[in-house]
Structure 1
């Protein structure tokens, strides 16, 4: 049985997922950050029926701000995943 090296993740694909589905956290799911991806998706989905109340708007502002911050973090998240620190 041979062990395969895990596939390297693409910054370009991460940005494409971010651009299309950023509020749902698909870029985070692609980069192996499943818990935070689930959190973003849950906040976004729960905000839809609450859009006309302050809670819905607050939810979209939260995930929107989170997604904008991720635009700056995607290269480092990808690098961290592709080139883990040896011995750590």
Structure 2
């Protein structure tokens, strides 16, 4: 495999997930800007609502999403390397 301009590091994606997973920076890095913006919006909107059930629900949603991404990162990076279109 060549290391062209579209090659993404799985290790860096996991580091971004560990540090900023609730904000979706790992998804942004892997070329999934729409879903990254969605994760960030849910997290940011949940911060002022943290003491209500709605804020907690937002964090549970993005936290679950980030945990699922921990399993999906290798395939997302592979799709990015192969030039396959990222849908979300």
| Contact residue 27 and residue 36 of structure 2 kept, 8 A | yes
Cα displacement (A) at 1:81:
0.5
Larger Rg over CA atoms: 1
1:25 aligns with 2:39: no
In 1, Cα distance between equivalents of 2:11 and 2:5:
18
Partners of 2:31 and 2:37 lie apart in 1 by 11
Higher relative contact order (CA 8 A, sep 6+): 2
Q: Which runs of 5+ in 1 are unaligned?
A: none
Structure 1 runs of 4+ with >4 Å offset: none
- TM-score normalised to the size of structure 1? 0.88
Number of residue pairs matched? 81
> Any stretches of 5+ residues in structure 2 without a counterpart?
none
TM-score for both structures, normalised by structure 2: 0.88
- Spell out, residue by residue over 1:51-79, the C-alpha distance to the aligned partner (whole angstroms, 9 max, x if none): 00010000000000000000000000000
Counterpart CA distance in 1 for 2:51 and 2:63 is 17
**Does the Cα contact within 8 Å between 2:6 and 2:80 map onto a contact in 1?**
no
